[in-house]
Amino acid sequence: MSGLGDDALRTAVLKTLSDDIGDTITGGKAGLRDAMTEAGAEKAPARLPDGTKVASVLLVGGEPAPRITDPAAFEAWVRQNRPDETEVIVRESYRKAVLEDARKAGRAVDRATGDIVPGISFERTTPYLRVVFTTGDTGGRELIRRAWRDGVIDLPKVLELPAGEAPGARSQRTLPPSRDDYAAHRCACKHLVYADQKPGDPCRFCPCTEHKPKAAAK
């Protein structure tokens, strides 16, 4: 990819993927953890469709561990018995409030007294990117999801994944062909026909002017 437009699209796609994958990972881990706990299993093998083992998922932790449940009581005990192990801590909420006041004023001053607050200096921040998706009947996130499901976006290219080893280089075993769960909803142009489209409308992604599912075209 080259150019700001391509780079911006790649960033938006990666942001969508990251959020979706993060949610999926969280849900998937929780489901597997509960299933392993219920089955009393400590290990589950992860295998490719051809049976090749690629990893093991281990259920770890769960044993009793000490933690501080009453910070005030613990801190009082430390102050009385080990005062040398204490330190002054400024509440994070107050720290943020002082910095916000300094940002608004353009200088480090106490908003109540006008006194200069020592120890604060203004430094240039590091620029960062924030993705703002378009809104409307169909938001930008969903349009991106549709585009990669439809093959309009080449995910391996976007992700810049390394090329896999040539089939048969280390083993003659091959994976079964992937199943297209959306085959019945694809037009002859290979793009999906969505629920909000009327059969026969122009395709959104190619010059096809008779966009309809394969089943309807028969």
Q: Is 70 exceeded by the pLDDT of residue 176?
A: no
**pLDDT band of 215, cuts 50, 70, 90:** low
For the residues of the chain, what is the DSSP string, one character each?
--HHHHHHHHHHHHHHHHHHHHHHHHHHHHHHHHHHHHHT-SEEEEE-TTS-EEEEEE----S-----S-HHHHHHHHHHH-GGG------HHHHHHHHHHHHHHTS-B-TTT--B-TT----PPPP--------SSS-HHHHHHHHHHTTSS-HHHHHTPPPPPPTTSS-S--PPPPP-TTGGGB-TTS-B--TTS-TTBPPSSSS-SSB--HHHH-
Q: Is 60 exceeded by the pLDDT of residue 173?
A: no
For residue 96, the model assigns a pLDDT of 94
Average pLDDT over residues 147-171: 69
**pLDDT band of 1, cuts 50, 70, 90:** very low
Does the pTM of the predicted model rise above 0.85? no
Q: What is the pLDDT of residues 84-110, one digit of tens each?
A: 999 988 999 999 999 999 999 999 999
Lowest mean pLDDT, pick from 4-13, 156-165, 172-181, 196-205: 172-181
Domain ranges (residues) in the chain: 1-62+142-161, 69-128, 181-218
- Mean pLDDT for the chain? 81
For residue 128, the model assigns a pLDDT of 81
Q: What is the pLDDT of residues 98-155, one digit of tens each?
A: 999 999 999 999 988 989 999 999 998 888 888 999 988 888 989 888 888 888 888 7
Q: Is 80 exceeded by the pLDDT of residue 167?
A: no
Average pLDDT over residues 31-56: 87
